[in-house]
Structures are given as structure tokens and as C-alpha cells.
Amino acid sequence: MLPVTFIGYKVVDELQNALHWFNDILHSGLAEPQWINHLPIGAAQAHKLWQAHLAQPQQIQELLDSVGLNFSKGLSMTHQVGSQVAPLVHRVILFFFSFLTLFFLLKDGHSIKDKCLKSSHRLFGSQGETLARQIIASIHGSVSGLVLVGLGEGFVMGIAYVLAGAPQPIIFGLGTAIAAMVPMLGWIAVTIVVLLMIATKSSMLAAIAVWIVGAIVLFVADHFIRPFLIGGTTKVPFLWVLLGIFGGAETWHLLGLFVGPAIMAALHLLWDIWTESPTSKNNIVKEK
């Protein structure tokens, strides 16, 4: 609980700083960064665009209104926040009962496991336990490959944000970790942070360095570590796993990130069993 409490405190503190910074922009405009004057090409055009769209608070408000973000209606926003209290309480109650259910599942886990194995043997025969182990291994691999790898990417990028002087590095590091749990979304999070650094900092070197570090971290994680963790234990091709992740997220949202790969792993095992030639089956029986 100590790390969670510390991170929560820092997130709240950085959220307050971000709100103050955004409030200053709405009242005084966004100051033009110094790197625009040092651009080798297009410095005058960039200066004109910045002065035309971001230098004055009225221009920023018009820009926010054009994308559907009107922050001047404080009463309406307060009403919207208040309308979310009831769903939040509902989710907290569900969270509590989920942990209560998990307690009893762990308490009586051995008897539940034995009954589930007997049921799977009656339903699927001798392949029932193999199918169950395939599903369990797929869920373990999905948790490791999505959640743990995403948290690792967010941790590394959070350190890079701190060293590069990015605004609110803990918030953006946490946001990068959450986005990186889904393949390819980590690139969007890192790009947003880099663009924000370019808009607020006087030097582009730090932003370019952050993007290069992010590209290396995300490339290695998405192309080597994640496929090995998700598909390595179940021998499922990563394309199947990727289809399971996106299809599950489309159908069941957050839960689908783990249900989808499990279904694809079960289908892949059933496909292997179904397409085995009679000769290979006879050889397996003789070896046993």
C-alpha cells in the first residue's frame, strides 16, 4: 500500500499543477517556445500560425470549442461530475463483492478444482484437462504480456519523462503504462507527451530523445517480449493472440483483453487436435 499511496499522492499533486497550468493558458494564452525562432525552414510561418491560434486566450477557447471542449460552462461540468457519483459507488460495491467472491474461491479452491476437472472429463473426455490448462496458461501469459509489460513500459518511460523534464511525468508515465497494455496504443501516449514537450519547452532535443527512447522500448516490448510471454507458453501464433486481444476488447472491453486470447488459445488447441492425422495419433498412443 505504501507505493500505491505515494503514487496516488504524486498524481493528485501533479493534477493540481496541470489544472493551474491549463487555467493560466486559458487566461493568458500559450507562450511561444524559443525553438520556433531557431527553425532552419519555416520559422516565419510557424510564428504566424502560433500567434494566430495559440498566443491569445480567446484563440485557445475558440480552438477548444471547435473540438467540442467548452470549459467555460463550469456548472454543466459540475453536473456531469455529480452524475458519475452513482456509477462510481456501484463499481466500488462490485469491486468489494468481487474480492469477497475471490476469497471463497481461494478458500475452497481444491474442491472446486477437483469438481471442475471431473466435469471437464465428462464433457470433453481425456482432452478436457489439456484444454483447461491451455486456457489457464493463455490467461497467465496475457496478464504477463499485457499488464506487466505495459507497467514496465510505463515505468521506463516515466523515468525518461523525469530526466527529460516533461510536465507532470508521473501522470504521463501512468497514462503510458495504461495505454501500453494494449498493443500499439503506447505509441500514441508517447507521441502526445513528446508533442506537449515541444509545445512547452524551449529545446527540442529532450523531446526527440524521449521519442527515440520510447520507440526503442515499445519496439522491443511489442515485437519480442510481449509475443514471447503471451504465445510462448501456449505455442499460439502471435497473430491469433493479437486477433484475440482486439476482438475481445471490442466485444467485452477491458475483460476481453484476457478472455479473447484464452478463447483463441482454446480454439488453436482444438484445431490442432482436430487436424491431427490418424498416423500421428497412432504413434502417440504407441509411445504412451
pLDDT digits (tens, 9 = 90+) for 179-203: 998 888 899 999 999 988 888 765 7
Share of the chain above pLDDT 90, in %: 19
Higher pLDDT, 13 or 78: 13
Q: What is the pLDDT of residue 48?
A: 82
pTM of this structure: 0.66
| End-to-end alpha carbon distance in the chain | 50
Per the CB < 8 A criterion, the answer to whether 157 and 214 are in contact is: yes
- The predicted pLDDT at position 201 comes to 61
User: Residue 100 and residue 104: Cα distance in Å, rounded?
Assistant: 7
In whole angstroms, give the CA distance from residue 34 to residue 26: 20
| 36-51 residue pLDDT tens | 777 778 778 887 887 8
Across residues 162-166, what is the average pLDDT?
89
pLDDT for residue 129 is more than 50: yes
- CA-nearest of 219, 177, 172 to 197 is 172
**For residues 60-88, average pLDDT:** 58
pLDDT digit string, tens, across residues 95-108:
889 989 999 999 99
Residue 193 confidence (pLDDT): 92
* DSSP-assigned states of every residue in the chain: -HHHHHHHHHHHHHHHHHHHHHHHHHHH-PPPPGGGGG-SSSHHHHHHHHHHHTSSHHHHHHHHHHTT--TT-HHHHHHHHHHTHHHHHHHHHHHHHHHHHHHHHHHTHHHHHHHHHHHHHHHHGGGHHHHHHHHHHHHHHHIIIIIIHHHHHHHHHHHHHHHHT-SSHHHHHHHHHHHHTSTTHHHHHHHHHHHHHHHH-S-SHHHHHHHHHHHHHHHHIIIIIHHHHHHTTTT--HHHHHHHHHHHHHHHTTTHHHHHHHHHHHHHHHHHHHT--HHHHHHHHHH-
In this structure, are residues 193 and 201 in contact, taking their beta carbons and an 8 Å threshold? no
**Is the pLDDT confidence value at 204 over 90?**
no
Is 66's pLDDT higher than 80? no
Is a pLDDT exceeding 60 seen at residue 286?
no
Q: 112-116, 147-151, 216-220: lowest mean pLDDT where?
A: 112-116
Decide: helix, strand or coil at residue 123.
Answer: helix
Residue 277: pLDDT band with limits 50, 70, 90: low
Lowest mean pLDDT among 63-77, 131-145, 213-227, 251-265: 63-77
